Amino acid sequence: GWSGETMGNLIAKARTPRMDALMSAWPHTTLQAAGEAVGLPRGAVGNSEAGHLHIGAGRRIYSDRVKIDRSITDGSFFRNEVFLQTIRSARDSGRALHLLGIVSFFSSHGSIRHLFALMELARREGVRNLYIHAMLGRRGETPESGAHYIGSIEKKTAEIGMGKVVSVIGRYWSMDREENWDRIEKTYRMLVYGEGTPCRERPDP
């Protein structure tokens, strides 16, 4: 990135004759590389994926998270046919509806707001049994944040009068992408067979 600060700025402290020559000979400018400028949520730190995508595309490409956020705001989220078919199928057959996904306010992969929107949609459609499987953790968040997120979900279930958190697991196990199948197996066995350590109440943060 570009900064006028010199403290900790290796480029500012280095000799850069080629860069200096280019900048003195040709027009140049700086680009925003974080947040809404590169299709990420407001205030989100940029990353290499967003940078490479926008250099290649030459235009703003909204992330899936931002697209979902916008659909919740404009109401189209609640008219999504796949969501409605799935929820109504569970309701009409008398089966429970299970929701699982990452629970965070800050992850680029998802938001607790998306879970809340699905919970609200299930309530509107008359679902009776709603079970929530929370996948916690985002790089950079403190271990104590998990208890806060579960507390937020429990507050939402009380607000809408339905829903229950039935499993909790960290992203280290549930969202591994390095082919550590032993981690994924723990997640699978928890979700399919109910294997795990029982916890009767949410720990204090």
Q: Which of 35, 33, 36, 17 is nearest to 25 (CA)?
A: 17
Q: Which of 152, 72, 39 is nearest to 104 (CA)?
A: 152
What six digits make up the tokens of 203? 């720990």
Cα–Cα distance measured from residue 56 to residue 40, given in angstroms and rounded to the nearest whole number: 16
DSSP bridge partners of 167: 133
Q: Give catalytic residue positions.
A: 48
Sheet of strand 164-170: strand arrangement: 97-103, 130-136, 164-170
Cα–Cα distance measured from residue 25 to residue 22, given in angstroms and rounded to the nearest whole number: 5
The single residue listed with the structure tokens 């679902």 is 127
Farthest CA pair distance, the chain: 71
